[in-house]
Amino acid sequence: MRAYWILPNRDQKDEIYASDGETIRPLRQILDPKFRPEGFSHGVPTELLEKFGPKAFAEILFAQRFPNWSGDKQLFSVSTTAGLDSSGRVVHLGLLFILEPHERPRFELPYASLSEEDKAYASALIHRMTSSVRGDSWTQSVRDLIELPSDSRPATNVALDRSVVRFRSLYVVGPGGLTKKAVNRSKWRTTAIVLLTLFAVVVAWLFVHSKNRPLALRHGEQSSRPTVQIGVVTWRFN
Amino acid sequence: MPAALTVFRAFLFLASSPGIERHFVRLVKGALDWWSGKKIAVIGPTASGKDSFLARLQNREIPEVHSNSPMGEKVKSFRVKLALSNHQVIDITCKGVINIGGETDYRDAPSGWLSVCADADVVFYVMTVNDLSKKRYLKGRRIRQDLDWLQTAMPHLKPGALIHILINKIDQEIESHIDYRSLAEELAEDLRALNAIVKNVLHPYESSYTGATLISMKNKQIYTRAINDALRSVYSGFYGTVKRKKAE
């Protein structure tokens, strides 16, 4: 596992910078822009900020997972807002993981070398991801994304409406905040599969039964009703 | 039944006329072009005012929730209807607009600026008046690097796509739109140098460049004045392209 901080662009520099916990260098030296997966986000998407409003900025966590990103390696990132830049725009702090197949991110990257302002946000992010705070649906959504069974599709913890890429997502933003979508959807999927199986069994039974019934009659089944025999098939009239 | 027969005969007659196919194709194409709207792309360095420009085009105030754009996000289709000062009317539906960040990371990513500009009819490149006065359009500097990128992107853009430069944040230099002309005169030398470099760098696609306009997204009066100039240049660019195509 390799892990890096994606640092907030507070000074509106031309490049995005990253840190391995010790040294700071341009993110492009770690993750070449040419190889960044389509839809990769360097922070919390604007649509989430707009939906939740400034009061909830600190709560929002946005996570992405790109399985089979480079060969069998996967890319995982978690972002949070990290204050404002020099012209008052919201900036972001992220944790980027380059993982081997079936490896899980470990939230233990040091942040002592970051600026004082960034340190506070880094510490808060690590704390949220490593402690069990009840009722923190954002953290739970990131954990659920980590536990999501492996799939070749890219996934996010929360559904996005304005992304240029379609992501598999576990949670959805509703009037009550963040709600789990995947459970309901999988329930519906299970119900649909059960109903379809039942339907298939009934159809199969009817098919076999309608074939066997005349044969049974042909082999001398007793019936109180009058029968008419045409060839080898017997039809019963009511 | 006789009516249907008459219509069918009329259709056969028209279809057999010389040149009717060409007219029909042009009619259908014109209708499709009309309905499909225009796509614009807005690119430029970080904090140059791309989000604010999109807000202004949609006749919205600059949003309170303003973020350093961390990923490409789709912008809902919107209509730009503006009466220009010379009785021209801009009436376009901007479709498929994507808002993207300004750091070079976004420029160089395959799903970055190129995917944003690929189908655009007009590419607005937003820079700041500070970039102009600090000559960041000279070799090795950020604006020049972006222009170099634009030149390599040109073959992959829509044929006939136009490039227009918006030089934002002039409200930091002047208090009101009344001072616009004097600022333009003051910056005339820099503007000439920028224009020469853009044409030189974009060669052989320099005819796509419709010029640079001083603007302020923040100051509504300056914006109203400047957008009139910018869209007139773009409109003339389109008209020129149509005329050139006809001449060919």
Q: What is the pLDDT of residues A198-223, one digit of tens each?
A: 888 888 888 887 766 554 444 444 54
Which residues does residue B127 pair with via DSSP β-bridges, in sequence order?
B167
Neighbours of A63 (CB within 10 A): 26
Q: What is the pLDDT of residue B133?
A: 95
Which residues does A216 contact at the CB level (< 8 Å), separation at least 6? none
The mean pLDDT value for A178-189 works out to: 69
**Cβ of residue B152 closer than 8 Å to a chain A Cβ:** no
Residue A88, exposed/middle/buried by CB under 10 A (0-12, 13-18, 19+)?
exposed
**How far apart, in whole angstroms, are the C-alpha atoms of residue A81 and residue A62?**
9
What single-letter amino acid sits at B160?
Answer: G
Tokens of B157: 């853009």
Band (pLDDT 50/70/90 cuts) for residue A186 is low
CB contact (8 A) between residue A54 and residue B65:
yes
Residue A105 has pLDDT above 50, yes or no: yes
Identify the H or E element spanning A206. Answer: helix A182-218
Out of A36-50, B92-106, B158-172, B206-220, pick the least confident: B92-106
- Which chain A residues are closer than 8 Å to B104 by Cβ? 14-15, 28, 33
Which residues does A152 contact at the CB level (< 8 Å), separation at least 6? A67, A68
**Interface probe with A: pick from B62, B71, B108, most Cβ of A within 10 Å:** B71
CB contact (8 A) between residue A40 and residue B69:
no
Q: What is the pLDDT of residues B134-172, one digit of tens each?
A: 999 999 999 999 999 999 999 999 999 999 999 999 999
Q: How far does A238 lie from chain B, in Å, by closest CA?
A: 50
- What is the DSSP pairing of strand B73-75 with strand B40-43? unpaired
Would you say the ipTM is above 0.85?
no
Q: What is the pLDDT of residues B13-57, one digit of tens each?
A: 655 665 666 665 665 555 445 444 678 899 999 999 999 999 999
Band (pLDDT 50/70/90 cuts) for residue B6 is low
Q: What is the pLDDT of residues A38-96, one digit of tens each?
A: 999 999 999 999 999 899 999 999 999 999 888 889 999 999 999 999 889 999 999 99
**Cβ of residue B184 closer than 8 Å to a chain A Cβ:** no
User: For the residues of A11-63, what is the DSSP string, one character each?
Assistant: T--SS-EEESSS-EEEHHHHS-GGGSPTT--SS--HHHHHHH-GGGGGG--EE
Q: Which of A33, A92, A162 sits opposite B105 (nearest CB)?
A: A33
Residue recorded with tokens 């992107």: B153
**Interface probe with A: pick from B68, B99, B128, most Cβ of A within 10 Å:** B68
CB-based contact A45:A90 (threshold 8 Å): no
Interface of A with B in 10-29 (CB under 8 A): 12-16, 27-28
CB-based contact A85:B68 (threshold 8 Å): yes
CB contact (8 A) between residue B68 and residue A85:
yes
Residue B1 has pLDDT above 70, yes or no: no
Band (pLDDT 50/70/90 cuts) for residue B63 is confident
**Cβ of residue A108 closer than 8 Å to a chain B Cβ:** no
Which residues does residue B123 pair with via DSSP β-bridges, in sequence order?
B41, B163
Tokens of A63: 């996570």
**How far apart, in whole angstroms, are the C-alpha atoms of residue B248 and residue B242?**
10
